[in-house]
Amino acid sequence: MIYLKALAIWFVIILAETLHGAARTLLLVPLVGDFTARQISVFTGAVIILFIAALFIHWLHTVNIYQLLGIGILWLCLTLTFEIVLGRLVFQYTWERILSDYDILHGGLLPIGLLVLALAPLITAKIRKAV
């Protein structure tokens, strides 16, 4: 039951992040350019993820750190799959374009956002004292 709830929360996160991405494209890209906008949105997206996780962490009723880490890994895997499928099939991005977000040596900051996503259940549970 915990992982079904975690899946429901992930849907909320991915919806919020999709809206966040649309807002980035409409509002931020014209001001700073695409790549810089994607860099900035890693941090604003991390705040959104932590906020949503904090809202729902008590609803999960987790009992230990392993469940929280498992949920974070589930969210990470689902998000990676979503990002790749959306990028390749819907937006028809090249692999180079997709992977540029993950290349820390060249300014891609998405691994930082994914780390926050994976640790969000644990971080928010500790802050909200849910475990």
Q: What is the pLDDT of residues 83-108, one digit of tens each?
A: 999 999 999 999 999 998 899 998 88
Q: Residue 127 — very low, low, confident or very high, per pLDDT cuts 50/70/90?
A: very high
What does the domain layout of the chain look like in residue ranges? 2-128
Nearest in space to 41 (alpha carbons), one of 9, 32, 72: 32
pTM (2 decimals)? 0.91
Q: How far, in Å, CA of 67 to CA of 108, rounded?
A: 29
Give me the pLDDT at residue 57, please: 95
At 74, which amino acid appears?
A: L
Give me the pLDDT at residue 108, please: 87
Mean predicted confidence (pLDDT) in 10-32: 97
Mean predicted confidence (pLDDT) in 37-51: 96
